[in-house]
Amino acid sequence: MQKSFTADEAELERVRAMGTKLGRLYSLLVNECNLLHLQWSEYENLFGTSVERIELLNQSARSFFRMLQDRLWDGALLHIARLTDPSASLGSKGKENVTVLGLPPLVDPKILPRVEKLIDFAENESKFARDWRNRRIAHRDLQLALGGTVTPLAPASRANVKRALKAIADVLNAIESHYLGAEIAYDFIHSTFGAKALLYVLREGIEARDAYDRRLRSGQLLPEEIKPRRPL
């Protein structure tokens, strides 16, 4: 039977197997990767699954969901960039970052070549996110905004994001497998009461609204419907 751990218990288990410094950094990275996959799952549930879902959002609150789509997209790219940034910030002596690039000095030499290779691949798969972060999200490149003769932003799509997520997860799972004999199924992380639950409520609400409009046009409102709408 599979054993369940609290977050604190999981960190203690990793520290026991990996040592304090690697175990604590690795635990932070796992938590970040879990959160990134959860947020990306919510993005895909809303905006990357079907035309029908997009229509549902447009019929409900078009401008709000467009803002949400942009914020979730930018957040995913920022998160990918952070996880594959240098292990220390330039110009900030002693300021270390929570990034997969901090793992190589801490891992067992037996898996170091494999981990370094996976990190190099994850860095490459994440280049597009760092370009967007540096020139559009965290900072706004003036010439790019003005349409000047500058290098366009790196192509970015849902497929790019998914490849970057897999590459980062592969780094972490190489360590998980070596020290703990298991892997984490990041692709299966989702929220029970998240975006999909919202979509069902929206669909039922739109159906109820359409039925109300039909009764209103036909002059057959129900008695309880002949009253002002309750404020929110």
Distant-in-sequence, close-in-space partners of 25: CB < 8 Å, separation ≥ 6: 98, 102, 103, 106
Please give the pLDDT value at position 1: 42
Please give the pLDDT value at position 127: 97
Region for 59 from its dihedrals, namely left if φ exceeds 0, alpha if ψ lies in -120 to 50, beta otherwise: alpha
- Nearest partner of 33 among 80, 65, 70, judged by Cα: 80
Under a CB-based contact definition with an 8 Å cutoff, are residues 174 and 165 in contact? no
pLDDT, tens digit, for every residue of 65-122?
A: 999 999 999 999 999 999 999 998 776 666 899 999 999 999 999 999 999 999 999 9
Residues of the chain with pLDDT under 50: 1
CA–CA dist 173, 51 (Å, integer): 34
CB-based burial label for 190 (10 Å; 0-12, 13-18, 19+):
middle
Please give the pLDDT value at position 4: 65
